[in-house]
Amino acid sequence: MFKLTRYCTLLVVMVLAFGVAAPGLAQDGENVLIMARAADTTGLDPHTQTAFASLRLLELIYEPLVQLDADLNLVPGLAESWEFSEDATTLTFNLRQGVTFHDGSVFNAADVQATFERILAEETGSATRANLLSIESIETPDDYTVVLNLSQPDVPLLTALATVNAAIASSDVIAGGDFATDVIGTGPFMLESWKPEETTILNANPNWWGEGPFVDGIEMRVIPDEASILAALRAGTIDFALLNDPLIATLLIGDENIILNRAISISYHVLQLNAANEPLDKLEVRQAISCAVDRQEVLDTASLGEGQVIGPLTIPAYMLPLSEFFCYEQDVERARELMAQAGLEDGFTLKVIAANAEPPTALSEAQTIQEQLAAIGIEVEIEPLELSVYVDRWLAADFDAAVALNGGRPDPYTMYARYWTRGGNLNTVVGYIDDTVDQLMAEGQAETDPLRRLEIFSEFQKHLVEMAPWVWLYTGYEYTAQQPYVSGFIPMPTDSLYSLSQVRLER
Amino acid sequence: MLRYLAQRALAFVPTLLGVSILIFFAIRMVPGDSIVAMLGTEAGMLSEAQRAALERYFGLDKPAIEQYFVWLGNVLQGDLGYSVRHGEPVLSVILARFPVTLELALMAVIIALAIGMTFGVLSAVFHNSIIDLIGQLFALIGLAAPNFLIGTLIIYVLSVYFGILPNSGDYVSLTEDPRRNLEQLIFPAITLGFAFSASVMRMTRSAMLEVLGEDYVRTARSKGLREHVVVSRHALRNALIPVVTLVGVEMGYLLGGAVIVEEIFTLPGIGRLAYNAISQRDYALVQGVTLFIALNFVVINLIVDFVYTLLDPRISYVKHR
Amino acid sequence: MSSIANSLDVRAKEPGLFRRLLRSRSGAVGILLITFYLVVGLLGALGLTPFPPTEQHPERLQEPDSTYIMGTDLHGRDIASRIMDGATNSLRVALLSVALAGTAGTLIGTFSGYVGGLLDNVIMRIMDVFFAFPAILLALLVVVVLGPGLTNTTLAIAIVYMPIFARVARGPALAVREMEFVTAARCIGIPHWRILLLHVLPNTLAPLIVQVSLALSWSLLTEAGLSFLGLGTRPPQASWGVMLSESRGISEIAPWLMIYPGLAIMLGVLGFNLLGDGLRDTLDPRLRGRR
């Protein structure tokens, strides 16, 4: 049995080797922030990438002229100050001096001009161009002044620039570089390496104009499953994490060893009705659906009550009390009456598309709505789709109803012009437009007086809710979680990670 | 011999061509193209001209058939295309991931062979004993437990009882840090090896039982050779042949099909690469990876054929066919 | 005219394929497990679950107790009910896909082998294309192309396993084709389809039956695997694979999320494997012990 014994010995040795070779995977004490998230960056061009996961990385590397603070107020970014002309047709920026790009070149007005020209050029394929179309010409009277001449009054333009999609890139790269490889911004962190679906390594920018960063770098890991991210947090193998699924994030509530950060989001969960399709083209039917839905119950079931029921505008400054909206309290009786008025007392079948796990709450929301609408005879058929397939059908308006989590914008006009203006890029997806809405949007775009703008958009919201092309549901939280020794991070309603520049590790 | 192998290799060309055609058109039939996969709903904000520009960028502006022939022409010149998502040539993306998969597969096979053959030989030698029974039970469980169950279980046991987290998304390659690399790969390898060890065990056992009853083994015994010599030198050698087939099939599977285990353990291998490429509609990468996986299959088949002849001189390819 | 068919009849009538199967240890245990699985699946199909399988209760991650005998999941859904619903779904996928793959594969294989020559060659080359991928990856590709869901998962699994049946059926067809009684049958003018049906097909039955049982277990595994990756059964419908996948990371806090679906998959697969072993022993003693 000699040979056999040898086998057995080999086996034992292997088992022992594995036993020994598997010590805890403890972190070394370096001053590098290790963070994890479920989705990875999809590309490195700040002007064309729109996936949230990409923005989260790129906003650490590239910076726009203006930034948003945690209350969505505009604060200086690469521009120190700015000014609209009286009639809102010119916008002047005074640029920050002494800023350098990661390659050492100096930031000035030429970079701003080159950047905006790049975004506006159609061959770039930048989705953000649609928000910048009013820019007619760009002047640079000196190295640190940029004047945008607008074709029409466009107040929301300023907030539309407060995104990494309008971040300033180096004119050298724009002229002859490749955005996929020459990742050169002005931001607090510099890209060291990006291994897609694995890790991204960022180094602190020692020449950053702001105060910080206080860590030597960031290691971003992709762990595709959020529950595993949670496990990694608990095991202490990561310092910081982005979480999307409220069901997972709330497991951290009451955990003494992990800090869960919550910021109420400006993204909103919504049931989109395609008002171009029968029978949703009937106002009564849409209103009936709006009355039959118990928004709070949807929030409670799908997101465990993590968030708040809202109207169309999720920007705190523009939010209205819910009592001002049409039928925001569930009213099944009224819903039935409306159905009867539309001649549909017997109900109908409504097909609802939902993306699988995008957001993680989508199917749960669809299910709850399914139960609620059954009360007025509407039989909801849920169609769960892979994300890309969902988006494809959504863009083609190939659905009757869709459960969606739509991104919010810090300005009401930028947020909804795409949907509710004549000629808005995504108006076909909505299938609804009327004069009041179109008119109010136009006024809101031109109005410079903040109080008057508030009035305009209040009316806009109330009108939309009453016309019920969509059933707005709620906003949830943007979740991040961190070890207690991580300090200085400010959770943002936009989910931006820009404040990682202020983070310190005190292990 | 060589001529035979060459013939076999040639016979695989139509297969690979079929694979490439199938994948090329299948992936384009799926709703949601590269642009939608990258931009999401923001794709709707693009103007016609912008969309056209992006289509040019992604190489989608020509009819699919034309795209295919362009692609095929490039492949024949060794150019698998460019992965827009990774910002790198497809080939280098694949080659960067392949070592992970290869290493994982080899480790899994070694583990499976060590466990499976040990149990198999013991079961055969002590036929119908308690050892045999235990071995058989083990094999049954191994065959019935899917690897994602074993993987989840292993992670559970490790994290709850040992405080180790084997899926932290911080893969290190063998060249960077061999020790940590082995630490990271050992558990996924056990996961993959477990089920396979059951197959190996069953195969070894039955082959051994068959061989142990044959004439030449009896002759060897009657010549007075000691039992372990009989077992190791005569019986085992012959029992190896079916095991080699098994290893071949399994390697083919492991070199592309370990998607789930790579996903569970967050390993950047070929399987996950293929899976991600599909969901991101990275057409060039999907085509490249699937072709690569199919090629692996083919090559492994050839190797298995070759090893056969080494193990069993009775098999000669010159006479047949 | 139909000596083979007759002999097959005799074999089927010979008291006992079933009884002999029961007499083999693995066959008996296999049948037991599968019966249990079928009963659970049937109960699920009839809606006789303790709770509606998609109903969300306020008690999330509830430990198994007298109300929720297997506990509840992250959404507060009853695990036991979902296991039963999962049994129904996986059975449906397994039975349908194997029926599809078996029928199509057998027909193609038998035909190909019987016809032989260039056509046979071409057909088998096409089958080779499907063999050039690991099964799970091929299934994954097909599901992505077709879209997820029970029906498409069924189709995907059928497409993946069809070539295996084709290969299994082709061998005997190739052999029978050379046999004298077939030549004889052709000489006396019996049409091809009758020869195929009455002489060729019956000869492929024994290996095919064994194959069916194995395919059922693979199909079960593949469905679970696809669902684990989120590509199989559509949520909120239950699938054991989805349930296992949902247990990831939180099984530490709620091990029941992993244990019950895991057991369900293992017992199901074990049942079909054992039945396969039993069938092989009973039908074809020569293959005894092989896998």
Say which CATH number the domain at A256 has.
3.40.190.10
Tell if the CB–CB gap between B264 and C248 is shorter than 8 Å: yes
Q: Residues, chain A, total?
A: 507
A residues 403-422 lying closer than 8 A (beta carbon) to B? 406, 418
Integer angstrom CA distances of residue A139 from A88, A147, B31, C220 = 16, 5, 43, 67
Instruction: Name the residue among A230, A247, A367 with its Cβ closest to that of C236.
Output: A367
How would residue A42 be classed by pLDDT, with cut points 50, 70 and 90? confident
A318 and A391 share a domain?
yes
Q: What is the pLDDT of residue C284?
A: 61
As for how many domains chain A has, the answer is 3
Q: What is the mean pLDDT of residues B49-63?
A: 87
Mean pLDDT value of segment A399-407: 94
Would the pLDDT of A72 be above 80? yes
Q: Output phi, psi for A121, to 5 deg.
A: -70, 130
Number of domains comprising chain C: 1
Of A157, A176, A195, which marks where a domain is finished? A176
State whether ipTM is beyond 0.90: no
Regarding whether A73 and A30 lie in a shared domain, the answer is no
Mean of the per-residue pLDDT values of chain C: 82
Same-domain check for residues A237 and A307: no
Question: Cα–Cα distance between B315 and B245 in angstroms, integer?
Answer: 14
CB contact under 8 A, B275 and C262: no
- Residue A206 DSSP symbol: T
Flag whether A409 is in a domain.
yes
- Of the partner residues A227, A382, A386, the one whose CB lies closest to the CB of residue C147: A386
Does residue C65 form part of some domain? no
Mutant choice from A243, A306, A356 vs C, greatest count of C C-beta within 10 A: A356
Indicate left, alpha or beta for A349 from its phi (over 0: left) and psi (-120 to 50: alpha).
Answer: beta
CATH number at residue C205: 1.10.3720.10
The reply to whether C204 falls in a domain is yes
On whether the CB atoms of residues B120 and B204 are closer than 8 A, the answer is: yes
Residues A442 and A318 in one domain: yes
Helix and strand numbers, DSSP H then E, in chain A = 16, 21
Q: Which domain holds residue A127?
A: 66-176
Does residue C55 form part of some domain? no
A-interface mutation test, from C61, C82, C253, C258, most A Cβ less than 10 A away: C253
The pLDDT assigned to C6 comes to 43
- Rounded to the nearest 5°, which phi and psi values hold at A379? -95, 110
Residue B315: the pLDDT is 53
In a domain, C71, yes or no: no
Q: Based on the domain organization, do A127 and A234 belong to the same domain? A: no
**A215 and A281 housed in the same domain:** no
- A392 contacts on B by Cβ (under 8 Å): 31-33, 36
**The pLDDT of residue B320 is above 70:** no
Three-state DSSP class for residue B222: helix
Q: How close A222 comes to chain B (CA, Å)?
A: 6
CA distance B258 to B251: 10
Band (C276; pLDDT cuts 50, 70, 90): confident
Q: What is the pLDDT of residues A180-228, one digit of tens each?
A: 889 999 999 999 999 888 899 999 999 999 998 999 999 999 998 888 8
Domain CATH code at residue A451 = 3.10.105.10
Contact residues for C64 (Cβ-Cβ < 8 A; gap 6+): C70, C71, C79, C256
* Claim: this prediction has a pTM higher than 0.95: no
Q: With an 8 Å Cβ cutoff, are A367 and C56 in contact?
A: yes
SS3 label, residue A308: strand
Residue B223 has pLDDT above 50, yes or no: yes
Task: Note the pLDDT of residue A117.
Answer: 96
What is the per-residue pLDDT across B159-186, written as a single tens digit (0 to 9) for each? 878 877 777 778 888 888 888 888 889 9
Taking a contact as any Cβ pair under 8 Å apart, which residues of chain A between 211 and 240 contact chain B?
A: 219, 221-225, 228, 231-232, 235, 237-238
Which residues of chain A lie closer than 8 angstroms to C235, CB-CB? 356, 363, 384
* A230 & A257 share domain: yes
Whether pLDDT at A21 is above 50: no
pLDDT at A104 over 60: yes
Q: Do C249 and A301 touch (CB under 8 A)?
A: no
Domain span including residue C251: 20-47+77-288
Q: Specify whether A446 is located in the same domain as A327.
A: yes
Task: For residues A31-57, give the mean pLDDT.
Answer: 92
Q: Does position C192 have pLDDT exceeding 80, yes or no?
A: no
Say yes or no: A490 and A469 in one domain: no
For the ranges A2-16, B66-80, C190-204, the lowest mean pLDDT is seen at A2-16
Residue with tokens 């910021």: A263
A319 has pLDDT over 90: yes
Whether residue A14 has pLDDT greater than 60: no
Q: Is residue A370 part of a domain?
A: yes
Contact A395/B49, CB-based, under 8 Å?
no
For the CA atoms of A125, A130, A131, A135, the dihedral, rounded to the nearest 10 degrees, stands at 90
Query: Looking at the predicted structure, is the pLDDT value of residue B8 above 90?
Result: no
Domain assignment of residue C141, yes or no: yes
* Residue A120 tokens, joined: 């506006």
The answer to whether C54 contacts chain A (CB < 8 Å) is: yes
pLDDT for residue A112: 97
> Does the structure show a pLDDT above 50 at C27?
yes
The mean pLDDT of A449-472, rounded to a whole number, is 95
pLDDT surpassing 70 at residue B63: yes
- B319 contacts: CB under 8 Å, gap ≥ 6: none
What is the distance in angstroms between the Cα of C54 and the nearest Cα belonging to chain A? 9
- Residue B40 DSSP class: G
The predicted model gives A493-503 an average pLDDT of 93
**Cα dihedral sign for B31, B34, B38, B44?**
negative
Identify which of A457, A425, A426 has the alpha carbon closest to the alpha carbon of residue A443.
A457
User: Taking CB atoms and an 8 Å limit, are B152 and C262 in contact across chains?
Assistant: yes
Q: Are residues A485 and A363 in the same domain?
A: no
Domain presence at residue A427: yes
Q: Pick the last residue of a domain from A176, A202, A219.
A: A176
Looking at residue B175, what is its pLDDT?
85
**Min Cα–Cα distance to chain A from B2, Å:** 34
CB B107 within 8 A of CB A17: no
Chain C CB contacts of B26 under 8 Å are 141, 145
Do A210 and A129 share a structural domain? no
Domain ends where: A176, A200, A225? A176
Residue C246 pLDDT > 90, yes or no? no
Over residues A336-392, the pLDDT tens digits come to: 999 999 999 899 999 999 988 788 889 889 989 998 999 999 999 988 888 888 999
Residue A182 lies in a domain: no
- Examine the pLDDT at A331 and tell me if it is beyond 90: yes
Say yes or no to pLDDT of A109 above 90.
yes
* Cβ-based contacts of A228 with chain C (< 8 Å): 248-249
Mean pLDDT of B273-279: 89
Among B274, B288, B276, which Cα is nearest to B71's? Answer: B288
Taking CA A335 as the corner, what is the angle to CA A363 and CA A285, rounded to the nearest 5 degrees?
Answer: 75
User: How many other CB atoms sit within 10 Å of the CB of residue C31?
Assistant: 17
pLDDT score recorded for residue A20: 41
> Which domains, from first to last, does chain B contain?
2-88 (no CATH), 91-271+293-311 (1.10.3720.10)
Name subunits touching B (3+ CB pairs < 8 A).
A, C
Tell me whether residue C15 is in a domain. Answer: no
Q: How far is CA C224 from CA A53, A92, C18, C162, C262, in A?
A: 29, 60, 29, 19, 10
The C-alpha atoms of residue A286 and residue A332 are separated, in whole angstroms, by 13
Non-local CB neighbours of A183 within 8 Å, separated by 6+ positions? A44, A61, A102, A190, A191
Are A238 and B168 inside 8 Å of each other by CB? yes
Same domain, A216 and A107: no
* Domain presence at residue A162: yes
